[in-house]
Amino acid sequence: MTKFIVILLVGLVFEAVGVVFLSQGLHEIGEVKTVSAGEIGRIIVRGVVNKNILLGTLFETCFFGVLLYLLSQKDVSLVWPLTSLGFVITALAARMVRHEDISALRWTGVLIIVLGAALVAWSEQIKTKAAAPVASASATITEK
């Protein structure tokens, strides 16, 4: 489980850094002023050449690769909820890199997410411990 957690954390750092780069890039290219083909085209062209959007996309792609690996190793009901820990890393990155002001209420929400992820991880430990006696009992039966 330690290897899984380390790989998950590396992936979540990729995700957090990617989101911060994407946010920075989107602020640089400006907002959509009107919903028209010309305006959307302008935003796309500016986004395709924006260094921060390209870096953000690269980091998000790395995260997606890590996510695919993790999903091939463990249950989706474990992996996907644990990716919510990325909210903590992203909030920290937004605070440090983008100097965003994060209220106590928002940090409380992040804490609740962490508690939920902890419950999911704990449920995996319980599942693993419950499966161990069953596996050893079936091995004993087949040996007889």
Q: What is the pLDDT of residue 91?
A: 92
DSSP assigned state of 98 = S
Structure token pair of residue 80: 């996907």
| Phi, psi torsion values for 64, nearest 5 degrees | -60, -40
Q: Predicted confidence band at 134 (pLDDT cuts at 50, 70, 90)?
A: low
> Tens of pLDDT along 22-58?
999 999 998 877 888 888 888 889 989 999 999 999 9
**Distance separating alpha carbons of residues 50 and 103, to the nearest angstrom:** 30
Kindly tell me if the per-residue pLDDT of 78 is higher than 60.
yes
**What is the domain count for the chain?**
1
pLDDT number for residue 17: 94
Query: Per-residue pLDDT tens for 63-76?
Result: 999 999 999 999 88
* Structural domain that includes position 29: 2-143
pLDDT surpassing 60 at residue 139: no
